[in-house]
């Protein structure tokens, strides 16, 4: 049976709440040793992704106050996701097409995991890893 997204994802992802301020989000990133977190609403549904770079470039560098800026202000638009039972090849194509390094995995409407470049490197043929990383990092 071909690998599915759920076979390679990192499960049980921690979320930043939409109303969490960016200082709280940054501390959670530090404590978890991650550079990105999914943003989830009060209903647990995924509303976006936030990265450490978002906090620095889109808030602090623009003169924003991270202690009063909610994470939800970064979760605009429909997040790029993959279904838990979708083939890994589709996940790779989605990451390359949208140039994302982390891909939330959903089961129905529930966030169940994240696929990162590290997950791909552990489970996928080296040639496919190289192609995906190359496509994600293109300018």
* Ordered DSSP codes for 50-74: EEHHIIIIIIITTT--TTT-BGGGG
117: domain CATH number is 3.10.580.10
Range of the domain at 10: 5-136
> So what's the pLDDT on residue 139?
54
Beta carbons of 82 and 92 less than 8 angstroms apart = no
Return averaged pLDDT per consecutive 10 residues of the chain, 139 residues in all.
92 94 98 94 89 95 96 85 96 93 92 93 72 57
Q: What pLDDT, on a 0 to 100 scale, did the predictor assign at position 123?
A: 87
Per-residue model confidence (pLDDT) at position 132: 55
How many structural domains does the chain have?
A: 1
DSSP one-letter code for 74? G
Residue 77 pLDDT: 72
Question: Is the Cβ–Cβ distance between 96 and 128 less than 8 Å?
Answer: no
Q: What is the pLDDT of residue 131?
A: 60
Q: According to the model, what pLDDT value does residue 116 have?
A: 92
């Amino acid at each position: 049976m071909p690998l599915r997204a759920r076979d390679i994802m990192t499960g049980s992802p921690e979320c930043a709440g939409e109303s969490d301020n960016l200082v709280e989000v940054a501390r959670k990133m530090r404590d978890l040793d991650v550079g990105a977190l999914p943003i989830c609403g009060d209903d647990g549904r995924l509303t976006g992704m936030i990265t450490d770079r978002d906090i620095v470039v889109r808030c602090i560098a623009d003169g924003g106050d991270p202690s009063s800026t909610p994470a939800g202000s970064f979760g605009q638009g429909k997040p790029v996701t993959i279904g838990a039972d979708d083939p890994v090849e589709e996940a790779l194509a989605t990451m390359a097409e949208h140039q994302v390094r982390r891909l939330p995995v959903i089961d129905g409407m529930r966030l169940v995991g994240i696929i990162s470049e590290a997950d791909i490197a552990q489970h996928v043929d080296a040639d496919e890893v190289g192609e995906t990383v190359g496509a994600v990092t293109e300018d």
